[in-house]
Amino acid sequence: MKCFRRSYRIRIYPNGAQRRLLDRWFGASRWLWNTALEIRSEAYRECALTLTGNDVSRWLTQWKRTSGHEWLAEVPATCLTQCLRDQDAAFRNFFDRRARYPRFKRKSAASSLRFQDVGAAWVRGHVSLPKLGVLKLAESLPEVERPDLMTLSRDAAGRYHVSFCVQVESSLLPIMHRVVGVDLGLRDLATLSTGEKIPSPKRYHARLRYLRQQQRCLARRQKGSRRREKQRVRLARAHAQVRQERQAALHALTTRLVREFDLICIEDLNVKGLARGRHARAIQDAAFSEVRRQLAYKSDWYGKILVEVDRWYPSSKTCSACQHTLDELRLDERQWKCPKCGTLHDRDVNAARNLLAEGLRQLAGRDDRDLRVDAGGACPEKILEQVLAEETRSGQRNRACMEQARFR
């Protein structure tokens, strides 16, 4: 059994009274964020004074008693306190150069509230929040301990969700004695070293014509009108549907890889740089970073190994049979013949095989020589036996070394 922190996100259906309450609470949280951000920015700009969330929290207690701001007392106190803590975290990320300067929140943007007291109804399978009551859930609650903090959010499409993070235990998946190299691409989302090609879902490309039509319709609506708001929600729901279909396809792919293989080797792509190039729309639709993110946390959960090969490794133009490297290989060349050994390669399959061999070499920690040359043309299973033996001798053991290195 392995313990780790896991996040859950469940859709909820608040009734009319609860939605009206949430609209007021979202507005109060947004007002507090913008007011606190303006005060802190002005204090530093004019007086070089650094204020914290605790300073604004003291003023918040006075504002609740001030005429004209009594509506602040209607919001649960923990929601407003968490809003100031989130702003402190935003400033810390800015000063640590992990994010840009905090920005003011717009009314039409997505909103969220954080609650500290979930309520005793959790043990009965219900979510009860302060001053809001019991919420209707789209699915049953997981059998976990009651969380200390819960976030209630509303997205641009008008859907409500609750999310929380808890400590869970999970059993490791059985050893499958299989390894794989994965090459990500645009035509085929993933090409495996076994020769299998998984097509890309391309959900955004499939709905692009409809999204363009709805976007033009939104541009023709008068700002501030009810028809414009209805059209905005319609467009947001279309984008949300595209995202859900893409996420479903990616989860199916990554879960299958983690279940069927013990070692997964992928390339450390510079997705941010690729997204500024010629095929930016297709690259963002493929979601390479999301594939790597899902493989990373699922491998950690279930005891599998994920190796990221350096992005500068020439996996596409290196022959997987004799290690000959071409001087140049154009992007439109999907197949090429090795001039040294005469092997005909599929570009993506050859890259996946090279990623697998390079990942095995990195895992063994032997950068001075190539395990494929030492193996004398052995299959990847034989190479993995050498990797496990090397790790056993070096004292760096992983879960795969715990069992006997015998392959089916």
77: nearest Cα among 32, 47, 107, 46: 32
181: nearest Cα among 84, 307, 274, 69: 307
Distances (CA, A) of 401 to 299, 359, 382, 397: 16, 16, 14, 6
270: three-class secondary structure by DSSP: coil
215: three-class secondary structure by DSSP: helix
Annotated catalytic sites, by residue? 183, 267, 348
34-38: which pairs have CB atoms within 8 A and are 24 or more residues apart?
Answer: 34/104, 34/105, 36/83, 36/84, 36/87, 37/87, 37/102, 37/104, 38/104
Q: Which tokens belong to 266?
A: 């992928």
Q: Which tokens belong to 177?
A: 């004695």
Q: Give the chain's largest Cα–Cα span.
A: 85
Q: For residues 272 and 180, give the distance between their C-alpha atoms in angstroms, rounded to a whole number.
A: 25
